[in-house]
Amino acid sequence: MRSRTIGMSVLATSALFGLTTACLPGGGGKAADVGRAARAAEQASGAATPSPTAKGKDKDKSTGVLADLSGAEILSQSYEAMRKVESAHVVAKLREEGKQVEFDLSLDKKGGCNGAIRYEAMGKVDLVKSTDLVHFKGDSDYWRAVAAKKHTSKKQTDAMVTMLADRWLKMPLSDPEAASFAHVCDLGKLTGGSSKPSPLARKGETVAIDGKQALTITSAAKEGTEVDYIATQGTPYLLKSTISGDESGEILFSAFGTPVDTALPDGADVLDLSKLGGGGPGESV
């Protein structure tokens, strides 16, 4: 996550709302502002603080070459390992302005992804993106939330939900409206990293993340206190990262190198937005 991921994910979520408003009566509309990047918070704590979800705490039992490195050196090795990852499963929980956004996506460096995004009190969107097509499916709560942001009438909203809820919508990536998904499905932005680790990064204890041993590294970030969990066996992948402050969140990485399935379920009911003409399905609502 390395702090900036929270802000990036919120922007991606806003862009996704902007895409779907094109399907409403009247079409178009700017991306909805569903949150802001996490604000500056307290300085990093003096020692690593493992997340409550970490299991099997074994204090001061880090092994292998990582045990002999500084916190900054460990993060540097992990950053390099993550930059080389071709695909991964990403689960993120972000708290923005009192509301939670959850991502559960498999992504690859080619831009393919498959999974779901859930918005607290706003429903869920399923997403499948290949190299040339985007498919997305929102539930009824999601479409009602989108309609509310567009101030759509109840009659139009009910009709739209009947037509679109739990139905796959398709559009080519060449469509400008589909550009939003380039941000949602960009594994490179999650794993690339552009900043150097803080020389003050501090090693903590070793804990278990999904059955794998990981060394905690605590750093100060603009958003508050960041704790990274680096695999101690094999490649030093980033298994988990958390941020705490005025806003909070966590992101977990797994299934490194596993191919991403971008095929739709058999028998899926698909509405091709590119064949509807200007205004989108809202014209027929």
Of 108, 107, 127, 130, which Cα lies nearest the Cα of 118? Answer: 127
Q: What is the pLDDT of residue 189?
A: 80
pLDDT at 260 over 80: yes
Q: Which is it for the CA torsion 115, 118, 123, 125, positive or negative?
A: negative
Per-domain boundaries in the chain: 4-271
Q: pLDDT for 10-21, tens place per residue?
A: 444 544 555 554
* C-alpha to C-alpha distance for 240 and 242, rounded to whole angstroms: 7
Q: Which is it for the CA torsion 67, 72, 74, 77, positive or negative?
A: negative
- Global confidence as pTM: 0.76
pLDDT at 278 over 60: no
Share of the chain above pLDDT 70, in %: 72
Kindly list the distances between the CA atom of residue 108 and the CA atoms of 84, 199, 284, in Å, as whole numbers in the listed order: 11, 31, 36
pLDDT at 70 over 90: yes
Q: What is the pLDDT of residue 74?
A: 94
Q: What is the pLDDT of residue 248?
A: 81
* Higher per-residue pLDDT: 181 or 213: 213
Give the CB-side neighbour count of residue 141, counting CA atoms within 13 A. Answer: 10
Task: Say yes or no: domain 4-271 is CATH 2.40.50.140.
Answer: no
Residue 146: which pLDDT band, with cuts at 50, 70 and 90? confident
Tokens of 26: 């009247």
Q: What is the pLDDT of residue 195?
A: 67
The least confident of 70-74, 113-117, 161-165, 172-176 is 172-176
The least confident of 49-58, 216-225, 255-264, 274-283 is 49-58
* Higher per-residue pLDDT: 53 or 124: 124
Residue 127: which pLDDT band, with cuts at 50, 70 and 90? very high
